[in-house]
Amino acid sequence: MKSIPARERLIFALDVPDAATARRSVETLGDSVVFYKLGLELMMAGGYHELVDWMVARGNKVFADLKFFDIPATVAAAVRRLNGRGVTFTTVHGNQGIMEAAVAAAVDVKILAVTVLTSLDRGDLDDLGFACNVEELVISRARRALAAGCAGVVSSGVEAEAIRREIGPRLLVVTPGIRPVENRAEDDQKRVLTVERAFAAGADYIVVGRPIRDASDPRAAAEAIQGSIASATLER
């Protein structure tokens, strides 16, 4: 059991259209959320680094989910831009050389390797030309991430148990696609789990977006998930 404070295990996906909306969301959630994921939409909206600085100054933890995928030198240069900003995690989505370049460039930001996006299933992998099943691809990418020196991986909770079985505790597992209830047909996330099942499978952190953002009372929704995390991690 890694020494991660229970309330930091919830990462809220701050998938909003601009920095002003992001700040209002953070203020609304208050101390119900400690850790936030800031992705590509916010990056493209402008004011991303200023938002990161504001959040870090408030005492929040930041996951810069930018999924860097370019030639290794370019990825390394991008990762260096995050050093010294108080960012906890960032993501890369590429081959061994890309992961190794990102790790070599990182000073105080931890590199997470994306395994297989939770919006993909077996049919999507066929479309992409992968002959193996989802679990085999996730394990292969997790092994490569470990060899490259990454701190962890981003993986569906569906495959988290296999990662723990094959690799053990040597990688952090950050699990998106979390739903407090069973998945709805219109949801674009295909490989999802509930909070309790994700932690039972071996997740260290969970990423939650819509179940908090779209709730009538986002703060109450976040606190309910925090309660589930506290119970789930206490039992591990």
Question: How many other C-beta atoms are found inside a 10 Å radius of the C-beta of residue 3?
Answer: 4
User: How buried is 143 (Cβ within 10 angstroms: 0-12 exposed, 13-18 middle, 19+ buried)?
Assistant: middle
Strand, helix or coil for residue 28: helix
Separation between Cα atoms, residue 130 and residue 124, nearest integer Å: 9
* Residues involved in catalysis: 67
**To 10 degrees, what angle do helices 96-105 and 72-80 make?**
30
H/E element holding 90? strand 89-92
Q: Running DSSP on this structure, what letter comes out for residue 178?
A: B
Separation between Cα atoms, residue 59 and residue 56, nearest integer Å: 5
